[in-house]
A and B are shown apart, each in its own frame.
Chain A
Amino acid sequence: MGHARKIEDLLETAGRTAAGSAQALRGALEFTGRVAAAALSGIVRPRSFRLPDFGAVFLRTGAEAVPVTLLVGFLLGFIIAYMSAAMLNKFGAEIYVANLIGLALIRELGTIVAAIVIAARSASAFAAEIGTMVVNDEIAAMRTMGIDPVRHLALPRIAAGALALPILSLFADLAGLVGGYITLALFGYSARIFLTNAFAFCSAGDLATTLAKGVVFGVLISATGCRCGLETGAGSDAVGKATTSAVVTSLVLFIAADGLFALVSSAIAA
């Protein structure tokens, strides 16, 4: 009797979890469809795209994130270079730190730094802004006026994220290279030698891939922030939950997407 009850509970929990996951997946697909429809409508009728909103969000998402991106990129480049140099110096191979830094930043780390900055600053901000509008009935008011919140609020934010992230990743690359160079300068290497080595293993294809990844991550992170905001529930803690969910989900999603990019790149290279 006891075992039967436990199995019953287990099955019920599994069923509820599966139903919840299916509902979440359905919600995500619906939102993706609505964003795609809004984007298509923006392409077909460019005047329907809210350019002033896009500009304001781009400033907040991109321009205002430059200082923190530069700082994090610089520190990351400096730390990696310093730790690698300390190790490679034992073999007289510290010059390869430049190759390591160049490759790591341009292929991976610059984009990851920018993605983390945007997830922390903007996905949370999007969820909080839109979530507060849900709680204050502003989204409901929009619907009664025939205004599509996805087109009006989400699309400019997603477009801003898609444009800002690759640009920020270039800033992160630049700052990381400066951090790496400062380390190698301590070992007596010139800027010319550093730069020659830093770009020795990098190709234009690497840069194109990193920019493409930036666009994809920007879309994923911004869309997650907007979706979490639009799905904010009722109550005083709902906005906090939406904000936390936006940051956590967007981090997981972009890391997963990065893994996918790595797999596809390897498959293409093989």
Chain B
Amino acid sequence: MNKLQQELQQAALQRDTRRHFLQTCSTGLGAMALGSILGSCGSLFGRDEKVAASLANADYDPMAAPMDPRLSQFAPKAKRVIYIHMAGSPSQLELFDYKPELMKYNGKDCPQELLTGKKFAFIRGVPKMLGSTANFRQHGQSGAWISDYMPHLQTVADELTFIKSMHTDQFNHAPAQLLMHTGSARLGRPSMGSWVTYGLGSENDNLPGFIVLASGGKQPDAGKSVWGSGFLPTVYQGVQCRTDGDPVLYVSDPNGMPRDIRKQTIEAINQINQQEYEAAKDPEILTRISQYEMAFKMQTSVPDAMAISGEPQYILDAYGVDPKKGSFARNCLLARRLVERGVRFVQLFDWGWDTHGTSKDTSVDIGLQMKCKESDQAVAALINDLKQRGMLDDTLVVWGGEFGRTPMQENRDGQTQSFHGRDHHLDAFTVFMAGGGLKKGLSYGETDPIGYYAVKDKVHIHDLQATILHQMGFDHTKLTYHFQGRPFRLTDVAGKVVKGVIA
């Protein structure tokens, strides 16, 4: 290992606590912040040079420039993540977890042993079993089971890594979404994207390191906490971009204020704030300086990244994007544009997968197929597109909901419903991933013959999180932050890396 490498690692180790940040932040950031404003817009340095250049400074402290790129703990397989969250939770039994045995029990009463001691969101009394409403076939050389609800995904089967033995602790949307993204079902913990940005900084000075795009007409049930930074410094929280109007609210300068004047304004603000910092020593001022820099840069880079008008027609067609409308497909394309520009973590939320069967739109046959139709092509296109650009190998794509759905038909209030639906289920669901150094064409883990419990190679939410962090180059037990007297981490006190899925 050469000396530079060692230095880089030592520097990376220094970032452990905010306290450390506070001790040393006065030494370098001021000059760096001012020196770098706008300077890096023209990419004077590549990122590696910038890391090296910052290390040449003896006083360099990674946390002093919280968004500067940093090395992970070990060589990463994935440099960025696109996390596609199907909010509401799609039915694994209609999509990936093929259970011919379940068909045999279709319409029969659920055995009492599956109900005793269980709590469901809506199922009451004794529900009926519900066989899959979809047709399944195996696809690709890997022979992955993917139902006909997702014809496009079938074509990329050999790129995918399925985990069919996922399980969670929470069966209501908001807490389950929080658990999935923050490692805790309660409010207040940093989200996965925040942890990753905290660990790695941003590769792009002009865009947030962690961007969120939502579709489906609503925000996730758990609200913006699923991309919050919890107790981590707030620079690490996800920034939501809108698909209509200004992509980010107030990103446009006022009428009659040209860019150059805006630039001078922000420079003046930051110079004065720097003086204020020297007097008051409040580290929040330094954060504010970097936020104003970022705001300025976002004003050009966000509209640029979000403008899909430059994309060729064949790309728009591949994703199925109507350039005039916000949609999940458009968000997939935007995700690619964002990771291309160095955004570390792109989080997509698509609302409307909560297929209880209370109406046509929420049935596992008609409604779920509609949601698949809206999204299947774009997900497959995203995977192909990343592959063609040579980015799939080091981009980890994750697709899944916050829990699974029951092999029983939902009987809300004890009554059979007119549409086929499934209740929330925490004991078994499927997540698939692509790229990012995982084994391609793998189906990992199994559920029992009716898909009720994960039985083989079970993977808990914390295990999935540990694995994602591992691919990003982090030991999840060591990516910690000291808060309230103890080190906190994404995986709380649990989590094992799922070695079986790693290439």
Q: Do A and B bind each other?
A: no
